[in-house]
Structures are given as structure tokens and as C-alpha cells.
Structure 1
């Protein structure tokens, strides 16, 4: 792969035309670099900007008009944006142009004026479709890192909240923001995160998903060790727990770390409802994970090895359905699980009206056709349907997809060894979870190691208590 490196011209020179040539060469002589010549008091200046990256209305009103109408030095108090700065570094000039900054250079000066006027044509704040709630806020992150920070700061007005800036990728120069509350965050976790970010040496970084893979503890584990959310209220709640939020510019989500397994099943709906209802919903979500990973394997084990545990009526009905089928129970389950994944991926990538049609066709027409054709049993359709519904209950899509993925090796173990295979595979899974960590924190916290205080907000959502006495 081609390595992207900055041009070897560290500083500007005093000659105006030479500076323009240096900047053009650093930007590979791109045609959308606009050069505007301005003459003030018989002095020649050049205003440089990338056409698609600046707000042209603000540029004309706040920069060009004040400078053109000035009879004195155009750099002293004539430009409306007060946050402009001077620099002699060519690299800073190039980075500024690529980030929507206008650059003003003039004759006999080894410095340039950086005027940030980036375009604001970004997406409006909307509720994320992948994390909808029944009761709660209806705003979501956008692709703008500054707007995402605003959504969080609007909720937390804490003077201890800090933001650190990083730039990753030699070619993309992607802005990465690390947010945390200074008096709540674990210093060891923060130091480890900064060490891992500083150690990243890549040419391109286009999304938060790429950053997750670069900094997580075990990229070979099927379990996500970093939580990604599009909801500002979810990110805010974890920030107040001492977690760290990482925002990648251009990605409409925030990365939360360190994280535990139970965090993927904590939804804002649990806290916006009464504590009994919230606890019931969380228990349903956790129970759905067990169903999603084990139900197909349990059915395969019962039909293949342990049919004697079923009542005679149920056993007769199942045997009557499967005795003339050309496929084994394992092949039935594998084919239907793969068909489910195909239908889900097709529905995601098609327009909404067509996606609804695909869902109806997949659920009714294909399901009915394969049963009537004698390839799949009715019982298997019920089992796969329950498995799919259970995996969709998860508040975070990451964990639901992972549950369907883990179901495949459990199905293989059940097909080979029956219930023994299920027990062995679940044991291996539990050992793996016990060994897994997220930035030094146990993935199964608060169960391993056991923390009695942490259990209060794990399986159930405990009732909030008002410390102040009530009026009588």
C-alpha cells in the first residue's frame, strides 16, 4: 500500500508566489484549490481555500469585504471571525485547508493567517433508527464531531468534563475526540487508551468501527469489548459512571469504554420506566440471549440423541414431521439460520417499501413453501423464528448479531454430542468470557470478580432512592 506522508516543506518563505507554489505542491495541484487575489493599500494578498470545504457566504461577508474595504493593514482587526491565528508552518496551512480553513498570505511575510470558516452543511439531529425507545429522548448523534460534543455537553454541565483531540491517519487526517469526566474516570484506563491511540500508525481511518478494531483487547473474540451507540442519552449515562467516550469525526456514533457484557443489555428504557418494569424488561433481554444461542442446539440434541425426554404426544408429532425429510435436523437449522441472515441483510440494504415486501415474502412465502415441499419441518420453522425474535430483543444490534453467530458452533456441538456438546460449548464460552477484558476491566463484571454493590444494577434495575426527607 502506498504510504501517505507530508511534504518536506516545514515553513513558509517570504516570497508570495513561492508560498503559493509550496501550498499547491503540498496539495498535489488539486483543481478545487481556489486562489483569490486581493490588493489592499498597494499590497498584494492571496486568499486560498478549498472550494467545497468553506462557507462561501461567511467568507465573503466576514473576510473578503472587510479586507477589500480596508485602507490599512488587512490583518489587524479587519477580519470578523475573532478566532483566526497566525502560523509559519506549511503543514498547519495544509491541514487547515483540508479542514475548511481559509488561508490569507501576503508579500514579504513568512507567515499566514488561518481563518476557520468550514461549511456547516451537515445532517440534522434525528432519532437513530437502530436504537429507538418507547420513552426517552429522540435525538441522535450525527457525522459532525462538534455537534456530537454539543449533544453531550447540553446534558452534562460539569466543569470537570474534558475533551482531548487526536488526529489519526496520514491520508485521512481524521479528528478523534476523547471525552471523560476528570474526577470520575480511572486514570489507568485513560492512560492505556491514550497509549493505544498514540500507537496507531495507519494511512486511513474512515469510521469508528475501524478504530474499535485497532484499540480493543482481543479482536479475535466474537464478543464486542467496546460499545458503540448513536444515542446521546446512553453515552451520557456511561460518562457519569466514569467511562470514556470516543467520537470519530464522520461517524454518527460514539464509542464507550471500558464496557462489560451486562452493559449491552442496559437500555435507557429501563431507567425511564418504573423500576419493576425496567427490571422485567432487562430480564427479558438477558433471557433472550440464552434462547438465541442455545435453542437451535437444544432442538437438534433432543431430536438426534435425547428424544426419550419428550412426552409421547409431542415426540410422535415431531417424528411424524421429520421421518421423511431428506435433511438432518442440523442441516435444517443451518440452512434456515443462513436464510434468515440473507433476508435480514437484504432488508437492511433495500429501500423501506421493498424491505417490507422482502420480510413478508421471506416469512410467509418461503417458510410455507419449504415446509410444503418437504425440505423443512414446521417445528424447525418455529424454533428458528423464536431464535430470530430473541436475538432482535437485544438493545444493541452488535450483541444480537453476535448471539446468532455463536449459535452455529453450539449447533455443531449438539449435532455431534447432544446435550454433552451443548454443556461443553457453553462451558468453553463461559471460560472465554471470564478471561476476556475491556481495557483492564473484567468483561463479566460484576459477576466475575463478584461485586455485591455492582449487582444492584445488573440483572435487575434497582429503585432510585431520594436522600432528602419527604414533606408530610
Structure 2
């Protein structure tokens, strides 16, 4: 025990020494102090210069700094410096930092700063010369739309925040910065519109984000498990998106968005069940097509959830509900199949998931070929071999297509997971098992809350002013009239 206690005390002493270490009057000593602070990394470079009898040393990380910026910004400024007293004026810029702390200087080097140290002076000057690696803001592959904006977030958070700010030139739009991840030091930003978002909810989200104590934070999606109030729920409690227009729309509805450096994914909270069925296409087209496709997605959710289990229950228990014209074709299809309907469905579902996963991991041209050819060959082969019935192929294919029609990848994945327990219940209890399973799902949805917001709102509890953008997408002018009348009523009540 004494050994471990000594080790902990030694680490504390070392950290205190590093925190208290200040700049030396010798440039070479400063370089060695920074090298020690960065654990002798090989990317730390230095360049010694003598200008107007002043001995300068430039220190930077070659993986983070841009040599062209050093040549264009720093060297001309140093050549103008005639004495040490002129140094502040010569290298002053919007991104310049002056410090005497070695640890602070090391942290800034990791962010792409170039450090300037001078002999006979115990201070550091740092200038931002980070090498920018930009990816063009292309449309996200998994959130394509027919009409509307075709631009998506990138890995540079500054670019992402600029895209949001360009679409919302609003003084009430607030960005709150955090640094999370003990080892990665990832920059996190919380965005919300003051006055529209609930201040208490925004503060709760900020505190939850602040309490995350993980060593590494790679993306906002990585933070979900630390912030979820119901981690064992099969339903997603955060909306993930890479579209600036979708983030802007949710911010204007009073929600909070979280962005992270190095990830194009943004998570939006709090959300409701119906948020996952909304698409920018709904609002970029006329209300009739928008309403039709909204209800089509909700119907596809029901189809993907219950169709396999209903088919299994019909084959195993309730053959009498089949119309008389379909009895003979259905009987011919299932006769001679060596597996029970449940095992038959499991085999096909696992096969579809394997083909889907292989298509995602392979390059795009090959992935599309694998999906089409693999599906045709396997489907035809298993039917010819008498292992799977024709009707089961049709049921699973329709279920898969229905699950892919949902705009949210997270909700689509949750839906596919929920089909398995329903299929098991239907194979044991028939329609009664399906009803019990659906009742359990509905009870769970009614009890679910995300940051004090009911998950099934505005259905449970029923909110009259919001139902016109739930199952159907009513005309926007009608929604605005209702919101205006509601605001007037609230003012009158006050």
C-alpha cells in the first residue's frame, strides 16, 4: 500500500511541478522543458533565428502547424522587430497569446500554435498557424433529399458552426464551449436559441455534458450513453443528423444541439418519437405530398414491426383468417418446408442483415452489387432448395423495405431489433402474444421521457397545437396561425 501511495504522491508532485513550471530566460531550456512536457515526441520541431541581434527560437508541432503560415505571418513580423521592447507590437494579432506557463504553452502547441521564445526573456508568444484540413461540405450519404439544401456538416467544428450561424443570423443563438475527454481534450459545443429553448433543460444538458468523465470523446454519438436517461430502452433518445438545415429547424423548435470537433454528426435533444419520421423533404414540397409521405413512413413502421410476427401467427395458429382464395397458394408455399415459421423467419432476417452489413463495409460499387446479386441468388436458391417458402421471402423483403423507409438510421435499427421478441411471442401465443408485445411497447413509450419531455408528445399527453405536424404535415400557414393564436391566448392568461 505504501508503494502505491508513494506513486500517487509522486504523480501529484510531478503534475504540480509541471503546472508551476514557467518560462526560462534561455530559449534552449524552454525547448527542453516543452519537450519534457510533451514526453519527447518526435514531431516537436524548433528553428533558431538571429534577427537584429535578438536570438529567437520558433517551436511548433509539424503535424499541427502550417509552414507556409509561419513563413508569411511570423518571419516578416520578426524581421520588423528592432528590439525586445518592439516584440509585443510586431507580433500582435487576433490569434496571439502571451504566457509564462510551460504547460499552457504545450496545450496551445497541441492546438496548432507556433511558440516564439527569446533569449534573455522569460515569456512565450504564441501565434495560431494551424494547418487546416478541409473536406468539402457534401450532402450526407444517409440523409439525402430530393429538394432543399444539399450541404452537410464536415469534421471541422468551426466550419459547422459557421454554417449554422449563416442560416441563423440571430443574436439569441448561443454557443457554449466545453472540453471533454481526459486524454483526447475534444472540444464540445452546445447550441440553442435563448428565449425559445427551455433554459432549465439547456442547463440540465450542459451539466450532464460537463459531468462526463471519459478518457476519450470521439463524437457526439459517443456521448449518448453518458447522457441517456433510459439506457436500456430500445428506442433512440437523441436525434443524430449531419444536415445544417435539420439542426436549424430543431433549434428553432426550442431544442439543444451538441457538436464535437472531428465529427460531422450532431445530436439533437430533447426529441419525441415523431421527430424520427420527419424529413426536410416534407417541408420543401407542397403539404399534400409532404403529408402523404409522412403517413407512409408511419405505416411502414407498423408494417416492419408486426408483419413477420403476424405471418408466423397465421401459419402456426390462425390459419382460418386467411381468405379462401389464398388458402391453396399459401398451403402449397409452406408445405414441404423442414423448418417451423419462426426459424424460417430468423434465417431470412439474419441473411438480410448479413447482406446489408456486407454492403456497407465494401466499397460503394461493390456493395451495391453484393446487395442486389446476393439477394437475388440467395433468395432464388433457398426457395429452389425447399428451405424457405415463397411467402416468407415476400414478407421479409417487404419488412426490410419498410424499415429502410424511415429517415432515421437509429430508429430503423431499433425497429429491426424489436421484430425479434414479437416473432418469438407470436410463435408461442399467436395473436395474443403480438397484442401483449405491442401493449408492452406502448406502455414503455408512454412512460419514456427525455429531459423532462414526454417521448410520445403530442399524442400522450395530447397537445392540440402540435398535432398538425405529427401524423400529417398540415399547411405551414395553418400551423403559424395556431401558434400565433396560442401565443395570444397565453398573453391574455398572463
Same fold (TM over 0.5): yes
2:83 alignment counterpart: 72
**Deviation for aligned residue 1:375:** 0.3
For residues 191 and 289 of structure 1, the distance between their equivalents in structure 2, rounded to whole angstroms, comes to: 34
Matched ranges for 1:140-219 at <5 A: 140-219=152-231
The answer as to whether partners of 2:180 and 2:186 remain within 8 angstroms in 1 is yes
For structure 1, which segment, 211-220 or 366-375, has the greater mean C-alpha deviation from structure 2 after superposition?
211-220
2:19 alignment counterpart: 10
The answer as to whether partners of 1:88 and 1:112 remain within 8 angstroms in 2 is yes
The answer as to whether partners of 2:54 and 2:83 remain within 8 angstroms in 1 is no
Find 2:311's aligned residue among 299, 304, 312: 299
For residues 169 and 99 of structure 2, the distance between their equivalents in structure 1, rounded to whole angstroms, comes to: 33
For residues 220 and 46 of structure 1, the distance between their equivalents in structure 2, rounded to whole angstroms, comes to: 55
The one-character-per-residue Cα deviations of 1:426-459 (angstroms, maximum 9, x if unpaired) are 1111111111111111111111111111112111
**SS at structure 2 position matched to 1:222:** coil
Matched ranges for 1:337-356 at <5 A: 337-356=349-368
**Deviation for aligned residue 1:76:** 2.1
**SS at structure 2 position matched to 1:202:** coil
2:147 alignment counterpart: 135
2:43 alignment counterpart: 32
For structure 1, which segment, 199-208 or 294-303, has the greater mean C-alpha deviation from structure 2 after superposition?
199-208
For structure 1, which segment, 178-187 or 457-466, has the greater mean C-alpha deviation from structure 2 after superposition?
457-466
The answer as to whether partners of 2:135 and 2:155 remain within 8 angstroms in 1 is yes
For residues 303 and 116 of structure 2, the distance between their equivalents in structure 1, rounded to whole angstroms, comes to: 63
Whether 1:53 and 2:64 are equivalent positions in the alignment is yes
The answer as to whether partners of 1:39 and 1:68 remain within 8 angstroms in 2 is no
**SS at structure 2 position matched to 1:465:** helix
For residues 205 and 105 of structure 2, the distance between their equivalents in structure 1, rounded to whole angstroms, comes to: 29
Find 2:55's aligned residue among 37, 40, 44: 44
5+ residue gaps, structure 1, are: none
TM-score (norm 2): 0.91
For residues 120 and 194 of structure 2, the distance between their equivalents in structure 1, rounded to whole angstroms, comes to: 46
Whether 1:254 and 2:263 are equivalent positions in the alignment is no
1:118 alignment counterpart: 130
The one-character-per-residue Cα deviations of 1:232-259 (angstroms, maximum 9, x if unpaired) are 1000000111111110111112111111
The answer as to whether partners of 1:298 and 1:419 remain within 8 angstroms in 2 is yes
Whether 1:97 and 2:109 are equivalent positions in the alignment is yes
For residues 115 and 218 of structure 2, the distance between their equivalents in structure 1, rounded to whole angstroms, comes to: 26
For residues 89 and 132 of structure 1, the distance between their equivalents in structure 2, rounded to whole angstroms, comes to: 48
For residues 75 and 217 of structure 1, the distance between their equivalents in structure 2, rounded to whole angstroms, comes to: 53
Matched ranges for 1:436-447 at <5 A: 436-447=448-459
The answer as to whether partners of 2:355 and 2:375 remain within 8 angstroms in 1 is no
**Deviation for aligned residue 1:80:** 6.7
The answer as to whether partners of 2:23 and 2:124 remain within 8 angstroms in 1 is no
**Deviation for aligned residue 1:207:** 1.8
The one-character-per-residue Cα deviations of 1:370-397 (angstroms, maximum 9, x if unpaired) are 0000000000000000001000101111
**SS at structure 1 position matched to 2:167:** coil
**Deviation for aligned residue 1:50:** 0.7
5+ residue gaps, structure 2, are: 1-7, 482-494
For residues 117 and 447 of structure 2, the distance between their equivalents in structure 1, rounded to whole angstroms, comes to: 58
Find 2:402's aligned residue among 390, 393, 399: 390
Whether 1:463 and 2:475 are equivalent positions in the alignment is yes
1:23 alignment counterpart: 34
For residues 87 and 431 of structure 2, the distance between their equivalents in structure 1, rounded to whole angstroms, comes to: 79
**Deviation for aligned residue 1:92:** 2.2
For structure 1, which segment, 127-136 or 319-328, has the greater mean C-alpha deviation from structure 2 after superposition?
319-328
For residues 187 and 244 of structure 2, the distance between their equivalents in structure 1, rounded to whole angstroms, comes to: 19
For residues 461 and 56 of structure 2, the distance between their equivalents in structure 1, rounded to whole angstroms, comes to: 66
Find 2:336's aligned residue among 314, 320, 324: 324
TM-score (norm 1): 0.95
2:279 alignment counterpart: 267
The one-character-per-residue Cα deviations of 1:288-321 (angstroms, maximum 9, x if unpaired) are 1111111100100111010111112312211222
**Deviation for aligned residue 1:69:** 4.5
**SS at structure 1 position matched to 2:158:** helix
**Deviation for aligned residue 1:143:** 0.4
The answer as to whether partners of 2:236 and 2:410 remain within 8 angstroms in 1 is yes
For residues 302 and 290 of structure 1, the distance between their equivalents in structure 2, rounded to whole angstroms, comes to: 17
Aligned residues: 466
List 4+ stretches of structure 1 deviating above 4 A.
3-7
**SS at structure 2 position matched to 1:255:** strand
Find 1:231's aligned residue among 229, 239, 243: 243
For residues 202 and 213 of structure 1, the distance between their equivalents in structure 2, rounded to whole angstroms, comes to: 11
**Deviation for aligned residue 1:22:** 2.2
